[in-house]
């Protein structure tokens, strides 16, 4: 699919900034990712790394010029997701995702996930961030 | 006659051996103590001559050779050729089982009826073996060290290890396995100082048949506690990636700023009473064992109460002395604490490098922890792969031995576990925000069970380098029936390079300005 236009980005940026204060903010986040750089992405999962302290979802995103960029998207600790009941088989390669995220300060195709949904609107990885939930 | 004598001597040998081994109150053999492998199997499980950084050794494999499938034998040869860089241990990654048992470092066993914990000096790795017939609630979730379930077969402790990933090796010589590997271990005390260990490896994707390796562990009598070998931290200090802080690392002096440290300042804080229905051991001692998660309330983002802002999530505040909830910082340390909020300082947080969190931060990293409690020790196993040992008897280490987790000696006072700690190295931060601590930190903690599901935690920090007087924080720990997962932080750390980029960019801009 493709990245949304600049206007849409700005609007999403305003909306998501309001949500962000209660979401995945923390010092390492602030050091690594930039609140001035919200991104909206739609693409297909190429890989998920069930890692700690942060799991990573990799998605292929088609750019406006037709080229494809593989984005690395940081999400919550794998152990949090596992305790919420999520398992590796719940997110197979090829799954289409819609992602709101904050891009890394170093401008690589790397971002911290603000929200992620399946293409039918169902939320992935529901629960409060950074709090292991048994 | 000869036959009868032989039978008598056999019988006698058997009964002597059975009586000779130390036993727990349950009657099971008592595996506890500090142990280290005798054989050179950590270098190569098979017979091998010495090589650079590799001691020679005989095979520990039944039959001498590992029964590889042809393709796997070729893969092993390739691993061997590239071992200097390809060996996961060269990157300080978690060793997996059985490799961790063969490392050339001591480990300590703690044993209760419900758990057997193995803590290793190497990288402060641990194994928590649940003595249970039930499968792990997280069966199917792969990890580097897998899930371990133990059971007693007479005097032999048998452990099934499942769900290990395919990223570990079996030794430094490139012997390897797949994620299909199932390991069955058998621990048997031969005498009070000898622990016979065997592991049967069943991996139909790599080998032609199951095979068994056998190791001998000898009891270590040099010292009564493990020290630390933080592989990655030592590496990064040696290569300059993690930089020394002359103000906090051992043996930094107390700063000469004209402000004397007021060691006597402080409020007299009574301990809460233990709840009437708290869990207790047979002898009446409170039982604080099991799984906990701190009710951290933002402690990892600051111990002083503050609302959130863009660079810093909120904290409810945890300081109870001084009464205003403010940490009694010296001027330099307050300035340092504020500067540590800046994005370019994110790289300096030791936990960003996956180093051990130190104390009291290990409790609220935030990640769960598991307490194993014996009559002689209370052991904290932190999900972010680090252990902390509290001896209930003994003497502190010599002053020159400095550790990330310090040296802790505890005692039961009424229904509270009181722990004193010192010998810190001063490399840790108190949280991501960078509340400051130094090697002169001494810590007095109390753990008081107030209900079957909650422990009241209090920590008094005395550290004259960043502070002008002692201070005290409190936090509840909530107990639940859960098991630990594994945080293999270093192994998948994608964040550190980004933090380094931000730091380096800042330094470059500073240099341009000069």
Instruction: State residue B461 phi and psi, 5-degree precision.
Output: -105, 125
- Output A50 or B405, whichever has higher pLDDT: B405
Provide CB contacts within 8 A for A42, sequence distance 6+.
Answer: A1, A2, A3, A4, A61, A96, A97, A98, A99, A119
Provide CB contacts within 8 A for B225, sequence distance 6+.
Answer: B34, B108, B389, B391, B394, B397, B407
d(CA B137, CA B460): 37
State the pLDDT confidence band at A28, using cuts at 50, 70 and 90: low
Q: Smallest CA–CA separation between B469 and chain A, in Å?
A: 27
d(CA A111, CA A16): 14
Tokens 């393709």 map to which residue? B71
Inspect the interface and report whether the beta carbons of B494 and A25 lie closer than 8 Å. Answer: no
pLDDT at B513: 65
In order of B169, B295, B431, B471, the CA distances from B302 in angstroms are 40, 14, 6, 14
Instruction: State residue A39 phi and psi, 5-degree precision.
Output: -130, 145
pLDDT tens, B403-413? 999 999 999 99
Whether the Cβ atoms of residue B503 and residue B345 lie closer than 8 Å to each other: yes
- Tokens encoding A90: 């719940």
Dihedral (CA of B36, B39, B44, B50) sign: positive
pLDDT at A86: 86
Inspect the interface and report whether the beta carbons of B499 and A25 lie closer than 8 Å. Answer: no
**Of the partner residues A26, A56, A79, the one whose CB lies closest to the CB of residue B432:** A26
Looking at the complex, does the CB of residue B93 fall below 8 Å from at least one CB of chain A?
Answer: no
Name residues 457-476 of chain B within 8 A of A (Cβ).
Answer: none
Inspect the interface and report whether the beta carbons of B300 and A56 lie closer than 8 Å. Answer: no
Dihedral (CA of A25, B360, B467, B440) sign: negative
Nearest CA in chain B to A73: B494
Inspect the interface and report whether the beta carbons of A32 and B138 lie closer than 8 Å. Answer: no
- Tokens encoding A9: 């980005």
Instruction: State residue B462 phi and psi, 5-degree precision.
Output: -115, 110
The angle formed by the CA atoms of residues A77, B386 and B227, to the nearest 5 degrees, is 165
State the pLDDT confidence band at B9, using cuts at 50, 70 and 90: very low
Residue A128 has pLDDT above 60, yes or no: no
d(CA B489, CA B499): 15
pLDDT at A68: 97
Residue A1 has pLDDT above 60, yes or no: no
Instruction: Look at B5-14, B287-296, B333-342, B460-469 and tell me which has the smallest mean pLDDT.
Output: B5-14
pLDDT tens, B436-461? 999 999 999 999 999 999 999 999 99
For testing the chain B interface, which of A28, A108, A129 should be mutated: the one with the most B CBs within 10 Å?
A: A28
pLDDT at A85: 84
- Over residues B469-486, the mean pLDDT reads 97
- Tokens encoding B319: 């300081």
d(CA B31, CA B15): 19
Whether the Cβ atoms of residue B359 and residue B425 lie closer than 8 Å to each other: no
Q: Which residues are registered as beta bridge partners of B203?
A: none
For testing the chain B interface, which of A34, A78, A79, A113 should be mutated: the one with the most B CBs within 10 Å?
A: A79
Query: Cβ contacts (< 8 Å) between A83 and chain B: which residues?
Result: 482, 485
Q: What stretch of H or E contains B15?
A: helix B2-20
pLDDT at B493: 83
- Tokens encoding B339: 């500067």
d(CA B404, CA B351): 12
- Over residues B48-74, the mean pLDDT reads 96
Nearest CA in chain B to A72: B494
Name residues 205-244 of chain B within 8 A of A (Cβ).
Answer: none
- Tokens encoding B246: 């002359």
In order of A86, B322, B330, B347, the CA distances from B333 in angstroms are 42, 17, 5, 18
pLDDT at B83: 96
Query: Cβ contacts (< 8 Å) between A38 and chain B: which residues?
Result: none
Inspect the interface and report whether the beta carbons of A83 and B366 lie closer than 8 Å. Answer: no
Residue B305 has pLDDT above 90, yes or no: yes
pLDDT at A84: 85
Q: What stretch of H or E contains A114?
A: strand A110-118
Inspect the interface and report whether the beta carbons of A30 and B347 lie closer than 8 Å. Answer: no
Query: Cβ contacts (< 8 Å) between A25 and chain B: which residues?
Result: 308, 310, 313
Domain extents in chain B: 16-219, 239-500
d(CA B93, CA B86): 11
State the pLDDT confidence band at B19, using cuts at 50, 70 and 90: low
**Residue B219 CB-half CA count within 13 A:** 15
Whether the Cβ atoms of residue B359 and residue B406 lie closer than 8 Å to each other: yes
Nearest CA in chain A to B349: A28
Looking at the complex, does the CB of residue B307 fall below 8 Å from at least one CB of chain A?
Answer: no
E-strand spans in B49-103?
A: none
pLDDT tens, B164-210? 999 999 999 999 999 999 999 999 999 999 999 999 999 999 999 99
Looking at the complex, does the CB of residue B483 fall below 8 Å from at least one CB of chain A?
Answer: no
Whether the Cβ atoms of residue B215 and residue B292 lie closer than 8 Å to each other: no
Instruction: State whether residue B476 is helix, strand or coil.
Output: strand
d(CA B364, CA A72): 28
Give the CATH number of domain B16-219: 2.40.128.20
d(CA B183, CA B337): 47
Residue B399 has pLDDT above 70, yes or no: yes
Please give the torsion angle defined by the CA atoms of residues A36, B300, B302 and B403, in that order, rounded to the nearest 10 degrees: -120
Looking at the complex, does the CB of residue B432 fall below 8 Å from at least one CB of chain A?
Answer: yes
pLDDT at B341: 87
**Of the partner residues A31, A72, A87, the one whose CB lies closest to the CB of residue B499:** A31
pLDDT at B125: 97
pLDDT tens, B123-140? 999 999 999 999 999 999
d(CA B455, CA B473): 14
Domain A6-118 has CATH 3.40.109.10: no
- Tokens encoding B106: 């001591």
Please choose, from the candidates B90, B87, B133, B125, the residue with its C-alpha nearest in 3D space to the C-alpha of residue B108.
Answer: B125
- Over residues A44-62, the mean pLDDT reads 92
Nearest CA in chain B to A51: B492
Looking at the complex, does the CB of residue B20 fall below 8 Å from at least one CB of chain A?
Answer: no
For testing the chain A interface, which of B353, B479, B494 should be mutated: the one with the most A CBs within 10 Å?
A: B494
- Over residues B39-48, the mean pLDDT reads 98
Whether the Cβ atoms of residue B242 and residue B490 lie closer than 8 Å to each other: no
Please choose, from the candidates B408, B370, B387, the residue with its C-alpha nearest in 3D space to the C-alpha of residue B224.
Answer: B408
Inspect the interface and report whether the beta carbons of A54 and B494 lie closer than 8 Å. Answer: yes
- For chain B, give the percent of residues with pLDDT over 90: 89
Looking at the complex, does the CB of residue B341 fall below 8 Å from at least one CB of chain A?
Answer: yes
Q: Smallest CA–CA separation between B12 and chain A, in Å?
A: 52
Looking at the complex, does the CB of residue B482 fall below 8 Å from at least one CB of chain A?
Answer: yes
State the pLDDT confidence band at A27, using cuts at 50, 70 and 90: low
User: For the whole model, what pTM was predicted?
Assistant: 0.90
d(CA B225, CA B223): 6
Please give the torsion angle defined by the CA atoms of residues A38, A41, A47 and A48, in that order, rounded to the nearest 10 degrees: 50
Residue A13 has pLDDT above 90, yes or no: no
Provide CB contacts within 8 A for B270, sequence distance 6+.
Answer: none
Domain extents in chain A: 6-118
Residue B10 has pLDDT above 70, yes or no: no
- Output B449 or B10, whichever has higher pLDDT: B449
Inspect the interface and report whether the beta carbons of A53 and B311 lie closer than 8 Å. Answer: no
pLDDT at B135: 93
pLDDT at A88: 85
Nearest CA in chain A to B488: A52
State the pLDDT confidence band at B494, using cuts at 50, 70 and 90: confident
Inspect the interface and report whether the beta carbons of A27 and B312 lie closer than 8 Å. Answer: yes
ipTM of the complex: 0.84
d(CA B64, CA A81): 44
- Output B376 or A6, whichever has higher pLDDT: B376
d(CA B242, CA B151): 43
Instruction: State residue A40 phi and psi, 5-degree precision.
Output: -115, 125
Across A71-80, B254-263, B301-310, which has the greatest mean pLDDT? B254-263
Instruction: Look at A82-86, B88-92, B155-159, B440-444 and tell me which has the smallest mean pLDDT.
Output: A82-86
């Amino acid at each position: 699919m493709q990245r949304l236009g600049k206007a849409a980005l700005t609007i999403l940026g305003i909306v998501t900034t309001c949500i962000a204060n209660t979401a995945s903010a923390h010092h390492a986040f602030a050091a690594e990712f930039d609140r001035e750089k919200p991104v909206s992405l739609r693409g297909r999962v190429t890989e998920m790394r069930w890692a700690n302290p942060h799991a990573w979802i990799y998605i292929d995103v088609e750019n406006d010029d037709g080229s494809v960029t593989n984005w690395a998207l940081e999400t919550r600790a794998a152990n949090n997701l596992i305790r919420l009941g999520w398992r590796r088989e719940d997110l197979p390669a090829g799954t289409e995702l819609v992602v709101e995220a904050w891009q890394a300060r170093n401008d690589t195709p790397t971002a911290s996930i603000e929200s992620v949904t399946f293409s039918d609107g169902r939320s992935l990885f529901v629960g409060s961030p950074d709090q292991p939930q048994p | 006659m000869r036959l009868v004598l032989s039978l008598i001597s056999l019988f006698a040998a058997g009964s002597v051996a059975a009586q000779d081994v130390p036993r727990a109150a349950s009657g099971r053999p008592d595996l506890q103590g500090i142990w280290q492998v005798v054989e050179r199997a950590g270098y190569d499980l098979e017979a091998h001559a010495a090589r650079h950084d590799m001691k020679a050794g005989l095979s520990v494999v039944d039959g001498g050779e590992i029964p590889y499938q042809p393709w796997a034998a070729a893969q092993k040869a390739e691993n061997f050729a590239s071992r200097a860089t390809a060996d996961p241990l060269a990157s300080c990654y978690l060793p997996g089982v059985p490799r961790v048992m063969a490392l050339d470092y001591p480990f300590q066993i703690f044993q209760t009826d419900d758990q057997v914990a193995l803590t290793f000096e190497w990288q402060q790795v641990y194994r928590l073996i649940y003595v249970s017939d039930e499968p792990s609630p997280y069966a199917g979730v792969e990890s580097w060290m897998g899930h371990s379930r133990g059971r007693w077969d007479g005097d032999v402790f048998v452990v099934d290890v499942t769900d290990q990933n395919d990223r570990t090796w079996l030794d430094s010589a490139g012997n390897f396995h797949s994620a299909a590997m199932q390991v069955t271990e058998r621990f048997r005390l031969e005498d009070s100082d000898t622990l016979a260990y065997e592991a049967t490896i069943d991996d139909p994707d790599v080998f032609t048949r199951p095979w068994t390796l056998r190791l001998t562990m000898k009891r270590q009598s040099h010292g009564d506690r493990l020290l630390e070998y933080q592989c990655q931290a030592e590496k990064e200090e040696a290569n300059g990636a993690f930089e020394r802080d002359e103000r906090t690392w051992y043996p930094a002096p107390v700063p000469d700023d004209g402000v004397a440290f007021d060691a006597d300042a402080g409020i007299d804080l009574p301990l809460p009473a233990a709840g009437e229905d708290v869990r207790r051991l047979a002898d009446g001692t409170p039982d604080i064992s099991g799984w906990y998660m701190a009710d951290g309330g933002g402690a990892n983002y600051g111990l002083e109460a503050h609302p959130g802002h863009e660079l810093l999530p909120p904290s409810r505040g945890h300081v109870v002395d001084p009464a205003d909830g403010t940490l009694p910082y010296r001027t330099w340390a307050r300035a340092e604490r504020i500067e540590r909020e800046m994005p370019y300082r994110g790289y300096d947080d030791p936990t960003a490098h996956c180093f051990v969190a130190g104390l009291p931060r290990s409790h609220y990293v935030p990640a769960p922890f598991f307490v194993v409690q014996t009559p002689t020790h209370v052991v904290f196993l932190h999900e972010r792969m680090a252990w902390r040992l509290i001896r209930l008897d003994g003497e502190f280490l010599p002053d020159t031995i400095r550790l990330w987790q310090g040296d802790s000696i505890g005692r039961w006072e009424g229904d509270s576990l009181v722990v004193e700690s010192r010998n810190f190295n001063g490399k840790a931060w108190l949280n991501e925000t960078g509340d400051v601590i130094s090697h002169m930190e001494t810590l007095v903690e109390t753990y008081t069970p107030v209900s079957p599901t909650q422990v009241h935690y209090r920590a008094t920090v005395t550290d004259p380098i960043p502070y002008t007087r002692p201070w005290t924080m409190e936090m509840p720990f909530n107990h639940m029936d859960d098991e630990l997962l594994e945080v293999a932080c270093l192994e998948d750390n994608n964040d550190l390079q980004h933090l380094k980029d931000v730091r380096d960019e800042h330094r470059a801009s500073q240099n341009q300005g000069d």
